[in-house]
């Protein structure tokens, strides 16, 4: 579930606790030649390096250096192959002709191009008796109808197509049906589609056959049968995708990366009890199987335009290691010392809570120029300044004291602000009063002055929410215009809804004398959430709405409130994904307990937009859809968007450059790390010490050591 994955961010102390455990449990020797490492000063222990539980900050950064995705985003944020070499989509049309002679004639006309519509490319053609199998390039809707329309109708078989789907093995139950069937002679052809579906081509007194089939499966309701008469049709269609993987990709332990790893990851992460539930993202998939070690065949139930976004967010895990794991702590142990395919691999964990990485010399895009990266915990400002002055640290995760120092010593370091990736919001339960009334939700939004809420820290900055989508993504070019601060307008809306201020305490009550109040649940372990929730409650009180902030343990908040939808309002955070598909977050079908639509929004206009976003191919139409979705969400206010945050790093001035080894066969040019570049996190694997970043040979070596 999308929200279960993303609201991990509402409990950042989990990472600190995980890092503390590793600090206590993992005793590590320091690498030799530490002065040669590209050094990053960190402010907390590095936690589990787990791509299944997305994390912010340094732990997330290191995880991205170790684990590579199947697809990546280029400089313009367009989706590009990475561990995947390429993908090919095709439509397989199986045509039942009226006779073998008719099939032979149709085959000849297909090969000559006479039966192929203009612009259609045939990839393969096979004939077995009276059956033709035609493989065409692409999977666009209506392709099969265009192809069949070119055939001579006299050459096509005269059949009634019946589809049968069951919840168990369809072959077992149907073969049992055939043993006792009186009307089975009307079946001309049987086509099994996977384990749970078949197509029947029947001819004759089909009413008798259908009645017999229906009676048999009505007597077996446990199979959950679904029988559908598709009408007179001589063909069936299957849509397939072939995924080819990169050659010469290896895991850090030397094992080859191949189809088995992708299929293992897919199966593990789409099962019901998956640690990262992605089943809904792959609802379009009928089956996945390996054709060769580097080729995968995906059979599709449907063809959403967003299907490659699903493969983009599938983490790839080493099947040769994880299939052998046993015991509840085995997976945690793996993520404490993981094996990936990325440009860097974990060398050791340090006693100070940091880690040392070494370059993956066999990396398929070329080994990184920096051979060592050290993430080290300096226990005092003085030790960081000594390392900085002796050119022995390149990047600093700043704390308050270091930020104060850097403000007083301009020019020594430069601050980098990343993309604002994390959004904080209050989800309303739209099934409870008063949140079932849009004017009330709008009034609560207008009552808040976001400028009074925002607070920057040394490691993060906050700003108002401006979009539902990733900043600068090409499919969305319009902002989300949320309600502006308007306390007078908020009061007018509440007055119009019948909530009047009471004399004396000024709190609002309805016509029955019931006070307008609600409980805002928040994770007790997240101090920033608690701070923001308290500030919101104070502002809402100013317009006469009483709010009780309830600090709840995270496990209870998740299992007893969110999964059961037992809350008035809840403070959450999520990561803004690259994908445009937001079906799981806002569609009416996902509004039940435990589903992704946390607020319970049910709106036909939003549903229509979300469904179109999944299937729309035209880029201009997609932009229209994203603009409409943002407009609808801003108008309906299913949640109140509080703010969004981005990461802040400090780098030594002139100390960091970018060098991509994959360019020009590994002979690319260095370029400065642009201080205004907000997408610097995607360049992180290729950071190198700059021209002024050579190690000083003066001064004691101890200056680089953490205290």
Burial of 459 (0-12, 13-18, 19+ CB in 10 A): buried
Strand-pair category, 38-42 with 395-396? parallel
Is there a single domain that holds both residue 616 and residue 689?
Answer: no
For 464, list phi and psi in degrees, rounded to 5: -65, 150
In a domain, 672, yes or no: yes
Q: Supply the angle between the helices 438-446 and 619-636 in degrees, to the nearest 10.
A: 90
* DSSP state letters, 555-611: HHIIIIIITTT--SEEEEEEEPPS----HHHH-GGG-STTSS-TT----HHHHHHHH
Same domain, 337 and 431: no
Return phi, psi of residue 641, to 5°.
-80, 115
Pick from 280, 302, 228, 278: which is nearest to 589 by CA? Answer: 280
CB proximity list for 457: less than 8 A, separation 6 or greater: 400, 648
Q: Give 44's Cβ-side CA count (13 Å radius).
A: 19
CA dihedral (479, 485, 491, 493) in degrees, to 10, reads -10
Considering the domain architecture, whether residues 358 and 387 belong to the same structural domain is answered as: yes
Q: Is residue 165 part of a domain?
A: no
In this structure, the dihedral spanned by the alpha carbons of residues 178, 180, 186 and 192, taken in order and rounded to 10 degrees, is -10
The helix or strand, by DSSP H or E, that contains position 521, with its residue range, turns out to be strand 517-523
Sign of CA pseudo-dihedral 463, 467, 469, 471 = negative
Give 417-436 pLDDT, tens digit per residue: 988 989 999 999 999 999 99
DSSP symbols for 166-201? -SS-HHHHHHHHHHH-SSGGGEEEEEEETTTEEEEE
170-180 and 206-218 helices cross at what angle (nearest 10)? 120
- Do both 500 and 435 map to the same domain? yes
CA-based nearest residue to 425, from 469, 465, 471: 465
* Two structure tokens written together for 321: 């290691």
Contacts of 524 (CB under 8 A, 6+ apart): 530, 551, 552, 553, 554
What's residue 692's pLDDT? 55
Closest CA to 352 of 375, 374, 372, 377: 377
Q: d(Cα 350, Cα 337) in Å, to the nearest integer?
A: 12
Among 618, 625, 677, smallest CA distance to 651 is for 677
Phi, psi of 605 (to 5 degrees): -70, -45
Q: Which residues of the chain have pLDDT under 70?
A: 1-35, 54, 328, 662-668, 675-678, 691-707
Residue 457, SS3 per DSSP: coil
* Domain coverage including residue 583: 419-647
- Angle (CA) 101-104-110 rounded to 5° is 140
Burial 169-200 (b: 16+ CB within 10 A, else e): ebeebbeebeeebebeebbbbebebeebbbbb
In a domain, 374, yes or no: yes
Residue appearing with tokens 């509080």: 642
Residue 61: inside a domain? yes
* Cα–Cα distance for residue pair 625/620, rounded to 1 Å: 9
pLDDT at 189: 86
Sign for the CA dihedral angle at 411, 412, 417, 422 comes to negative
Tell me 281's DSSP state.
G
Give SS3 for 388. Answer: helix
Report the CATH number at residue 574.
Answer: 3.10.105.10
Answer yes or no: do 508 and 587 share one domain. yes
φ, ψ (nearest 5 deg) of residue 398 = -80, 150
Question: Does residue 152 fall inside a structural domain?
Answer: no
Q: What is the pLDDT of residue 75?
A: 84
d(CA 344, CA 359): 5
Q: Among residues 607, 623, 647, which one ends one of the domains?
A: 647
The encoded tokens of residue 506 equal 């000024």
Nearby residues of 172 by Cβ (< 8 Å), 6 or more positions away: none
Which DSSP symbol is given to 680?
A: G
Token pair listed for 96: 């039942």
pLDDT, mean over the chain: 88
Statement to judge: residues 424 and 497 lie in one domain: yes
432 and 531 part of one domain: yes
Are residues 442 and 525 both part of a single domain?
yes
Verify that 608 and 484 share a domain, yes or no.
yes
Residue 73 lies in a domain: yes
Asked whether residue 335 falls in the same domain as residue 368, the answer is yes
Residue 288, H or E segment: strand 285-292
Residue 513 has a CB neighbour count (10 Å cut-off) of 7
Specify burial of residue 272 (Cβ count, 10 A radius: 0-12, 13-18, 19+).
exposed
**276 class by beta-carbon count within 10 Å (0-12 exposed, 13-18 middle, 19+ buried):** buried
Rounded-to-integer distance, Cα 241 and Cα 230, Å: 25
Alpha carbon 540 to its chain centroid, in Å, reads: 34
Instruction: Give dist(CA 32, CA 269) in Å, integer.
Output: 39
Same domain as 676, residue 589: no
**Consecutive H or E run containing 141:** none
Whether residue 524 lies inside any domain: the answer is yes
Nearest alpha carbon to residue 509 among 544, 539, 540 = 544
Classify residue 618: in a domain, yes or no. Answer: yes
Q: How far apart are CA 479 and CA 466, in angstroms?
A: 6
Residues 405 and 501 both lie in one domain: no
The CATH number for 379's domain is 3.40.190
- 137-167 pLDDT per residue, tens: 999 888 999 999 999 999 999 999 999 999 8
- Identify the burial level of 536 via C-beta atoms within 10 angstroms of its C-beta, where 0-12 means exposed, 13-18 middle and 19 or more buried: buried
The total number of structural domains that make up the chain: 2
């Amino acid at each position: 579930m999308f929200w279960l994955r993303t609201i991990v961010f509402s409990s950042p102390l989990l990472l600190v606790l995980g890092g503390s455990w590793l600090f206590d449990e993992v005793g590590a020797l320091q690498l030799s030649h530490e002065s040669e490492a590209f050094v990053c000063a960190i402010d907390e222990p590095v936690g589990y390096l787990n791509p299944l539980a997305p994390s912010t900050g340094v732990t997330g950064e290191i995880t991205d250096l170790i684990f590579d995705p199947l697809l990546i985003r280029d400089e313009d944020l367009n989706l590009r192959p990475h561990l995947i070499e390429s993908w090919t989509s095709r439509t397989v049309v199986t045509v039942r002709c009226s006779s073998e002679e008719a099939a032979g004639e149709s085959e000849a006309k297909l090969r000559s191009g006479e039966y192929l519509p203009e612009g259609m490319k045939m990839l393969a053609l096979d004939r077995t008796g009276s059956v033709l199998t035609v493989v065409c390039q692409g999977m666009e809707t209506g392709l099969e109808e265009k192809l069949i329309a070119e055939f001579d109708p006299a050459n096509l078989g005269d059949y009634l197509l019946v589809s049968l789907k069951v919840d168990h093995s369809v072959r077992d139950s149907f073969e049992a049906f055939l043993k006792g069937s009186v009307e089975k002679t009307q079946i001309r052809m049987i086509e099994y589609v996977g384990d749970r579906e078949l197509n029947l081509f029947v001819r004759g007194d089909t009413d008798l056959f259908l009645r017999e089939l229906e009676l048999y499966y009505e007597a077996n309701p446990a199979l959950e049968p679904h029988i559908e008469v598709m009408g007179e049709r001589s063909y069936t269609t299957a849509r397939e995708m072939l995924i080819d993987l990169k050659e010469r990709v290896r895991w850090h332990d030397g094992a080859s990366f191949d189809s088995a790893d992708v299929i293992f990851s897919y199966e593990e992460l789409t099962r019901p009890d998956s640690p990262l539930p992605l089943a809904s993202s792959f609802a379009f998939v009928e089956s996945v199987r390996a054709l060769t070690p580097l080729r995968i065949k995906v059979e599709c139930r449907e063809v959403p335009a967003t299907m490659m976004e699903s493969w983009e967010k599938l983490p790839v895990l080493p099947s040769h290691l994880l299939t052998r794991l046993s015991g509840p702590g085995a997976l945690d142990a793996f993520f404490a010392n993981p094996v990936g395919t990325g440009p860097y691999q974990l060398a050791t964990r340090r006693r100070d809570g940091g880690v040392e990485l070494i370059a993956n010399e066999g990396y398929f895009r070329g080994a990184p120029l920096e051979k060592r990266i050290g993430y080290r915990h300096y226990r005092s400002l003085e030790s960081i300044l000594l390392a900085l002055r002796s050119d022995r640290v390149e990047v600093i995760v700043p704390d308050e004291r270091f930020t104060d120092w850097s403000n007083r010593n301009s020019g020594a370091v430069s601050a980098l602000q990343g993309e604002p990736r994390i959004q904080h919001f209050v989800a309303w339960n739209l099934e409870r009063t008063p949140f079932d009334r849009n004017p009330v939700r709008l009034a609560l939004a207008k009552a808040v002055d976001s400028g009074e809420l925002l607070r920057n820290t040394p490691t993060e900055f906050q700003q108002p929410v401006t979009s539902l989508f990733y900043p600068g993504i090409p499919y969305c070019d319009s902002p989300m215009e949320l309600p502006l601060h308007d306390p007078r307008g908020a009061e007018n809306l509440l007055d119009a809804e019948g909530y009047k201020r009471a004399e004396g305490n000024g709190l609002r009550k309805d016509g029955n004398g019931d006070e307008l109040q609600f409980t805002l649940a928040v994770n007790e372990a997240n101090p920033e959430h608690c701070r923001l929730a308290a500030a919101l409650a104070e502002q809402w009180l100013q317009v006469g709405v009483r709010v009780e902030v309830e600090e709840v343990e995270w496990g209870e908040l998740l299992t007893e409130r969110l999964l059961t939808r037992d809350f008035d309002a809840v403070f959450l955070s999520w990561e803004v994904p690259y994908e445009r598909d937001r079906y799981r977050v806002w569609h009416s079908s996902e509004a039940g307990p435990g589903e992704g639509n946390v607020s319970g929004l049910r709106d036909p206009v939003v549903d229509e937009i979300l469904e179109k976003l999944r299937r729309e191919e035209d880029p201009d139409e997609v932009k229209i859809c994203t603009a409409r979705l943002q407009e609808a969400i801003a108008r309906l206010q299913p949640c109140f968007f509080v703010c969004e945050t981005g990461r802040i790093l400090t780098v030594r001035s002139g100390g960091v450059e970018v060098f991509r080894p994959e360019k020009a066969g590994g002979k690319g040019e260095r370029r400065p790390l642009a201080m205004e570049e907000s997408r610097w996190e995607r360049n992180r694997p290729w950071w190198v010490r700059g021209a002024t970043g050579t190690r000083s040979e003066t001064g004691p070596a101890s200056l680089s050591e953490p205290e």
